Amino acid sequence: MQKNPQNNSLNHPQDYKQQVNHLAHLVEQAKTVCVFTGAGASTESGIPDYRSRFGIWTKMEEEGKDPQYFAHYKRLVEDPAEFFGRRIGNGPGPKPNLGHYALAQIEGAGKDIRIVTQNVDGLHQEAGHRSVVELHGSHHRWYCMDCDRPYKFQELRYDHQHVPRCYICNGVVRPDVVYFGENIDPKIVAQAERAVAAADLLLIVGTTLATGRAKRLARSFTGGPVVVINCDEISLRPIKVDLFIQAGFAQVMQDLKTHLDHT
């Protein structure tokens, strides 16, 4: 039986400095690092997460509301005014946090880092990463649901109900993201699978891997050690975790970069 990551004292030194040293050693030894990020990587940029103790979905469920109803494709189609009127985060705005920048700088120094993210905020790219697979799309890309005309967020025009409308056909313009009731593009899944398969170190950051697709991708990794970085204690059974660091993304990445800079 596999142990919870936080309880395996042999593989997970309890001292934070030792943990970062261990992580730095793993990164130095790895040829290719795949970093699988979730909402917890962006909370320090001011974007709420979903599944933590205080996450958006968690709070909704505590209030007896169903997150899948409020962020479902069917609701977007049937009642776009209600959908856009209540939806959190209509477009870009937050900036990368120090964790995004530190990780991108590690890549810029010569480490092969492949990002697979569940986030739709585009912060990895803005920080400077070259290889980013966005499993759930991006709020930076929008398109008309009727004529497929692409739009940038800055180009959007809204009707009197605050629904984004196409300049040409007046169709509803939506973000290029995957909502409940929709499937991830198979081409994107294939890109993510290649990024995971190419790595010999997997970092799972700020995610509980709640979605089936995310968990299957992580389970498919067989290339080497698995490291989890998350503020809350989590169990990713049956995924074997070699190092668990219970801390924020920004802190760990900055400390990792500092360690690597001095080795």
Residues 10 and 21: their CA atoms lie apart, in Å, by 15
CA angle 133, 139, 143 (to 5 degrees): 105
**Beta pairing partners, 134:** 117
- For the beta carbon of residue 215, count every other beta carbon within 10 angstroms: 16
Longest dimension (CA), the chain: 62
Decide if 20 contacts 256 (C-beta within 8 A): yes
CA-to-CA dists, residue 184 to 47, 69, 192, angstroms = 22, 18, 11
Q: In this structure, what are the phi and psi dihedrals at residue 49, rounded to the nearest 5 degrees?
A: -90, -170
Query: Of all residues in the chain, what percent are helix, strand and coil, respectively (each to 5)?
Result: 40, 20, 45
Asked if 124 is an active-site residue, the reply is: no
Q: To which residue do tokens 């977007």 refer? A: 76
SS3 label, residue 253: helix
110 with 28: CB under 8 angstroms? no
| Rounded CA separation 172/154 (Å) | 16
> What would you report as the CA-atom Rg of the chain, rounded to the nearest whole angstrom?
19
Q: Which of 100, 124, 129, 136 is catalytic?
A: 136
> Residue 49: what residue type?
D
The C-alpha atoms of residue 14 and residue 246 are separated, in whole angstroms, by 10
Q: Residues with catalytic annotation? A: 136
